[in-house]
């Protein structure tokens, strides 16, 4: 994930864990990727992907809010991709946005260049506006819906990203029915949990800061509420939407219950394939671990491929499997969960062992509720 605008954003989501990353760069004023760094990055990612034997190079533009950079930045990015792309390599682009700055010019560009757009929506107006407000505390729902309409009008391919928090977790059926009518068959649900840190900020990842174990923020979704959210949505999806609506969580689980590998890093055995790069070229082991302790280096000072395949990067990836609690290791659902995201290993296991996943109850609820039907779908699809 590339963050060419760093953590800068034009809205102020109350649950956002990334806005405070500005503190990593106290002297930075612009948080804007320079053209020199942009060209260096384009060349480096193409070359690193080529060395890995990949035939497609995927550029994933995130933030903050990347559209704050303006359309000319991305027009230049595409121009550089064409300039430096060798024969036999395919380029793809995706961009995650709150949709507020989208207009007809943006949409024409996104359609012409085949960008996949991720549009952030938390549900109907009353739910979305609970936490997704602008810098002045004003609601954003109407502007987001306008952005979605512009994407539909220009036939831009997009998916919906919905965060699940205390404000919408109890409204799973309503949220799902609303989102599936927005014009995209692809929906992602991202559960939100963070711990309150000192001085009003957020605590660091548990691997860095274990001192705030029980200080869960008021907007974080509870494990039981998230589990029920998944179960309620699955029941509707299973009855009405198989083959019509593609929910990332369900699709990933079907693959795992079919004996395949995880298509989502959260449920993979190891980590390390979802690196994050800041506007200045600083490369971190993961988007959820943008802390000094997990900085791999800077692509302007060391070749990207050396950083990506460094011993530090490998150790970070392997730690996910190596630090499972005994409860995880002996769980019958380990194949479908693998201990979840290490950032969420905030609680103690049933045996009192530290480093257990906060969402263990959520996933266990879901697997007990939906496992039989997941297995039936997996059988119908055949072996992966």
The pair of three-digit structure tokens given for residue 159, joined into one six-digit string: 């998916």
Helices (H), 165-208: 172-179
Query: Would residue 287 show up in a list of annotated catalytic residues for this protein?
Result: yes
Q: Under 8 Å CB-to-CB from 320, ≥6 apart: which residues?
A: 268, 269, 270, 271, 338, 339, 342
Distance CA 29, CA 44 (A): 26
| Among candidate residues 343, 344, 338, the one with its CA nearest the CA of residue 358 | 344
0.85 cut: is pTM over it? yes
Report whether 298 contacts 282 (CB < 8 A).
yes
- The CA distance from 218 to 233, in Å, is 24
Give the pLDDT of the chain (384 residues) as one tens digit per residue. 999 999 999 999 999 989 889 999 999 888 999 999 999 999 999 999 999 999 999 999 999 999 999 999 999 999 999 999 999 999 999 999 999 999 999 999 999 999 999 999 999 999 999 999 999 999 999 999 999 999 999 999 999 999 999 999 999 999 999 999 999 999 999 999 999 987 778 999 999 988 776 799 999 999 999 999 999 999 999 999 999 999 999 999 999 999 999 999 999 999 988 899 999 999 999 999 999 999 999 999 999 999 999 999 999 999 999 999 999 999 999 999 999 999 999 999 999 999 999 999 999 999 999 999 999 999 998 765
Which residue in 129, 232, 282, 287 is the catalytic one? 287
Q: Is 95 left (phi over 0), alpha (psi -120 to 50) or beta?
A: beta
Which phi and psi angles does 238 have, rounded to 5°? -65, -35
Quick one: how far is CA 205 from the chain centroid? 16
Q: Determine if the peptide bond prior to 64 is cis (ω within 30°).
A: yes
């Amino acid at each position: 994930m590339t963050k060419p605008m760093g953590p800068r954003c034009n809205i102020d989501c109350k649950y956002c864990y990334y806005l405070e990353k500005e503190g990593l760069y106290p002297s930075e004023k612009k948080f804007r990727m320079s053209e020199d760094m942009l060209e260096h990055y384009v060349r480096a990612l193409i070359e690193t992907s080529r060395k890995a034997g990949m035939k497609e190079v995927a550029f994933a533009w995130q933030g903050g809010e990347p559209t704050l950079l303006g359309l000319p930045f991305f027009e230049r990015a595409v121009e550089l991709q064409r300039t430096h792309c060798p024969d036999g390599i395919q380029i793809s682009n995706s961009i995650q946005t709150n949709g507020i700055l989208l207009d007809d010019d943006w949409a024409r560009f996104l359609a012409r260049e085949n960008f996949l757009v991720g549009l952030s929506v938390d549900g109907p107006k009353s739910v979305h506006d609970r936490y997704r407000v602008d810098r002045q505390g004003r609601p954003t729902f109407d502007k987001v819906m306008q952005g979605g309409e512009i994407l539909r009008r220009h036939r831009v391919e997009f998916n919906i990203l919905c965060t699940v928090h205390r404000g919408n977790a109890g409204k799973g059926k309503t949220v799902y029915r609303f989102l599936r009518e927005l014009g995209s068959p692809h929906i992602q649900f991202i559960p939100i949990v963070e711990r309150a840190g000192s001085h009003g900020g957020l605590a660091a990842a548990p691997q860095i800061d274990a001192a705030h174990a029980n200080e869960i923020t008021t907007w974080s979704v509870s494990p039981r509420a998230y589990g029920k959210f998944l179960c309620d949505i699955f029941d509707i999806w299973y009855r009405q939407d198989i083959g019509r609506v593609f929910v990332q969580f369900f699709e990933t689980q079907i693959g795992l219950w079919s004996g395949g590998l995880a298509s989502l890093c959260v449920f993979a055995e190891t980590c390390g394939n979802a690196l994050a790069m800041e506007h200045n070229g600083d490369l971190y082991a993961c988007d959820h671990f943008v802390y000094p302790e997990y900085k791999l280096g800077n692509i302007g000072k060391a070749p990207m491929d050396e950083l990506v395949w460094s011993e530090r990067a490998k150790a970070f990836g392997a730690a996910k499997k190596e630090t499972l609690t005994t409860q995880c290791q002996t769980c019958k659902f380990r194949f479908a969960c693998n201990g979840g995201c290490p950032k969420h290993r905030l609680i103690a296991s049933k045996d009192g062992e530290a480093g257990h996943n906060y969402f263990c109850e959520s996933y266990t609820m879901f697997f007990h509720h939906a496992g039989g039907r997941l297995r039936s779908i997996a059988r119908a699809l055949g072996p992966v």
